Each structure stands twice: as structure tokens, then as C-alpha cells.
Amino acid sequence: MPGVDLADGRRLNLVMETAPDFRIRLAEREDVPTILTLIRELAEYERAPNEVVATEKQLQESLFGAHPAAEVLIGEESGEPVSFALFFHNFSTWMGRRGLYLEDLFVRPAVRGKGYGRALLVRLAELARERDCGRMEWAVLDWNKPAIQFYLKLGARPNEEWTIYRLTREGIARLGGGT
């Protein structure tokens, strides 16, 4: 049966076959340089290479410090990192339970089409189910038609009733009375 070997020894069965040497695991502290490299590659793909200001030190603290803000799954082919998914939990007041928010999913262009993105989403859905999440959510850039088609094929639907708003650090400082 096609699938992905998970780091804990279980096999995740998939409709789409992945390479036999592909595995998904939770990132560890030692993975921070790799995670930052993958974030920079994602920023290149999203046409925003100069917007990455994260440092290894910040990621160490944010992902593996006393109060981790997010988690990362790393997809490896033959032991080489080729994809990642960074996610965290949000909360639905109406549902009264947490959800899983996928901040970023990236598969290196050279290995796209092998089912790795789907495998990461399947693993995230499994985690969401194990953690009793009420929903999974993520955002996609309007121009990223391949990603939109990919998500639609998985059964995800856009939430057209909501518009995302954002304050940057400068906006937060202005609103919060800082400099």
C-alpha cells in the first residue's frame, strides 16, 4: 500500500504514492538552520525574498523555547530535507475548541509532484484529529493557482466571507502607543 513512514515507526497510507524513501518527522532544535533555509526558499517562491527577517536565534526561541509558538514538520527524501509545514494552534470561540492553523507549507521545486505536499497535509490532519481540533485553516496567495488547485482537489474550500487583516510591528506600535 502506498504511504509514508512516520518518524515514530507508523506507516501513513495515502491515495497518491510517494517515494519509498520519503518520511515525515517533527522538527528538532538542531533543524533550525534547515528550517530557516526552507523559509527563505519559500519567500523566494512567494516573490518576497527580502521580507524574511527571522534569525536562527529567534526560531530557536519561538519553536523550542520555554513557550513554543509553533511546530514544524519536515519531509525528508533519502534523509535530505525537501519540504516543511509550520503550524500552530488557534482557537474557535464558537466551537469552544482549538484548531490547527497551517502558516506555511513548502516543497522544494525539484521534488514537486511526488505527493510530498499532500503527505504533509495528511499528517497535519492526523495531528488535528489526534489533538481534537475543530478545524484546519490556512491562507493562500491569490496568484498561487497551483496551490489553490491542489487545495481544492483535497476538498478544502475558500472562506470567501472573511478578509484577513494585518497589523505589522509598526502598526502594532502605533496602535499600542509605542514608538
DSSP codes, the chain? --EEEETTS-EEE-SS---TTEEEEE--GGGHHHHHHHHHHHHHHTT-GGG----HHHHHHHHHSSS---EEEEEEETTEEEEEEEEEEEEETTTTEEEEEEEEEEE-GGGTTSSHHHHHHHHHHHHHHHTT-S-EEE---TT-HHHHHHHHHTT----TT-------HHHHHHHTT--
45, 101, 116, 151: which one is catalytic? 151
Active site residue 151: yes
Catalytic positions are 151
